[in-house]
Every structure is written in structure tokens, then in C-alpha cells.
Amino acid sequence: MQNDIEALFENKPPAYTEEHFRLFQKFKAALNAGEVRAAEPDAESASGWRVNGWVKKGILLGFRMGGVVDMSVNVSRQPFFDKATYPVRAFTAESGVRIVPGGSSVRDGCFIGRGVTCMPPMYINAGAYVGDGTMVDSHALVGSCAQIGRNCHISAASQIGGVLEPVGALPVIVEDDVLIGGNCGLYEGVVVKKRAVLGTGTILNASTPVYDLVRGTVYKATESQPLVIPEEAVVVAGSRAVSSGPGKEWGISLYTPVIVKYRDSKTDARIQLEDLLR
């Protein structure tokens, strides 16, 4: 399938045939089943992950192939128009996914594990992967190709930005048992390792360094490696003073994420109540 997807992506035909659409449906079914992923664990990589560019090509191919169609349940009351290749993801009670009533949307072409809870309104885009037992809370976004592990909590209004283009760029990764606090933002291929905790309002991206007060080091993204938050780190929003020029004279500080501790029994006790909501 990889060779067929890449060939069709690189060589656009004058018109897409039934065979092409069958190929895409097969590919999308594999995404839904978690059999193919936009990124996957790789022990040989410094970040622990590698991107599967051909999968991203397949997702982009779906946008290229699909025409805009009417997807409205009631076009006069609530019109929806989108690509025919990416309807709303179909679930049944046997899927083992809780989708609480109130306006959430899960796009076709993403893996949603058993025991996932979707609190309204939230949105999961095509190409995403959400592991078993994870909660996606109200007003949260899981962007295209973002990879979320098992038993995570994506709190209200958090934005997990995906990275669909360029195809070689690693999407945002959140590993198992991570707590993302409310109003957090993860962008530009950030990797959050297992059991980390992000305090409310923490923003992580490729251009903001993270200061580790415990280990006395600074974590940064480079041209070849993403920003990686260590396992069990507890990260909060902080600031650092501008040390020269007008910024120093004016007393200006810049936003920076700060690792203030690593998880301990006290941290675990504060967040264990979330299991009652699952």
C-alpha cells in the first residue's frame, strides 16, 4: 500500500478512478484501525519517534481526491460542507468510545482507542491517534497527525496542534499517562514523554526553551530534533527577565516553560481523582 500511495501522490492523474478511491478507502481503514500511523515509536531516534512521511502523503491525498459535498443533517438549520473523503468518523456502542452529547466531532481517518472519552465540544482531526483510556475534554483540539498515548488527560481548551505539512516533519507527540492542563498549547512537533504533567496555560513550541530547575539544564529544539519534555517532568508557565538592551531597562520578562519538579506521590494523589470520570 505504501508504494501505491506514494506513486499516486507524486503522479497526479487527469482524473481519479474507482481503483484510486478503493486504495484510499483501504488506507483510511488502516488509519482508523491504528495499523498505520503518521508517526510511531523508534528506539533509535533521539526523540524516541519517527515520522512516516508516506502516511502523511496518504492523508493529503484524501484532501486532493475529495470533492466538497453537503454533509448536513439539516441544511437549513446547520449546514456542513466538506470533502467527501473525510466524513465524520462512524462509531457504534461496541466501539467502546464515549462521545458525550453536545457538539463534538471526530473526523474519519483517525484511531480512537477503547475507553476514550470525548467531552463536548471537542474535535479530533484526520490522521490523529488517541490511545486507550484517554480523555479529551471540552473545547480541546487534537490536530491532524497528532499522536496521543494511553490514559492521558487532555484538559479543557487545550490545543494539541498536529503537523501535516511538510510530510517529513514530526507531528506533536504526547506519550502514555500524560496530564495536559487546561488551556495548554503544544505545537511544532513537541514530544512530551511518559507521565509528564503540564500545568494550566503551559505553551510548548519549537522556539521556546524549557528551563529545568531540578536538573539544571535547558531543553531546546534544533533543526534536526524537536523539543522533548522528559518523563515525569512537571512543567508550569513561567517567565525570564530580558537581560540586555531596552528590554532590561523597561523591566520586560519573556514567557518560558519551567520544570519545577518531577512526579512524586503527592503529584499522583492530586490527579488520581480523574479516574472517576472515565
pLDDT of res. 158: 98
Closest CA to 119 of 132, 131, 133, 101: 101
Say how many CA atoms lie within 13 Å of 192 toward its Cβ.
Answer: 37
In a domain, 38, yes or no: no
Residue 168 burial (C-beta neighbours within 10 Å; 0-12, 13-18, 19+): exposed
| Helical residues (DSSP H) of the chain, grouped into ranges | 2-10, 18-33, 53-65, 245-250, 265-271
Backbone angles phi and psi of 114, in degrees to 5: -70, 140
pLDDT of res. 267: 67
Angle of the 53-65 helix axis to the 18-33 helix axis, nearest 10: 130
pLDDT of res. 266: 72
pLDDT of res. 215: 97
pLDDT of res. 265: 73
Low-confidence ranges of the chain (pLDDT < 70): 267-278
In a domain, 68, yes or no: no
State how far the alpha carbon of 15 is from the alpha carbons of 8, 11, 55, 128, 172, in Å: 11, 11, 22, 28, 34
3-class state of residue 182 by DSSP: coil
pLDDT of res. 278: 53
DSSP assigned state of 74? B
In a domain, 25, yes or no: no
In a domain, 6, yes or no: no
In a domain, 255, yes or no: yes
Query: Tens digit of pLDDT for each residue in 124-181?
Result: 999 999 999 999 999 999 999 999 999 999 999 999 998 999 999 999 999 999 999 9
Closest CA to 161 of 140, 178, 135: 140
Residue 219: CATH number of its domain: 2.160.10.10
State how far the alpha carbon of 240 is from the alpha carbons of 123, 203, 204, in Å: 34, 15, 15
What pTM was estimated for this model as a whole? 0.94
The domain tally of the chain equals: 1
pLDDT of res. 192: 98
In a domain, 267, yes or no: yes
Q: How far apart are CA 159 and CA 146, in angstroms?
A: 11
3-state helix, strand, coil in the chain (%, to 5): 20, 30, 50
Q: How far apart are CA 94 and CA 140, in angstroms?
A: 24
In a domain, 148, yes or no: yes
pLDDT of res. 272: 62
In a domain, 253, yes or no: yes
Q: How far apart are CA 27 and CA 35, in angstroms?
A: 9
Structural domain range at position 102: 97-277
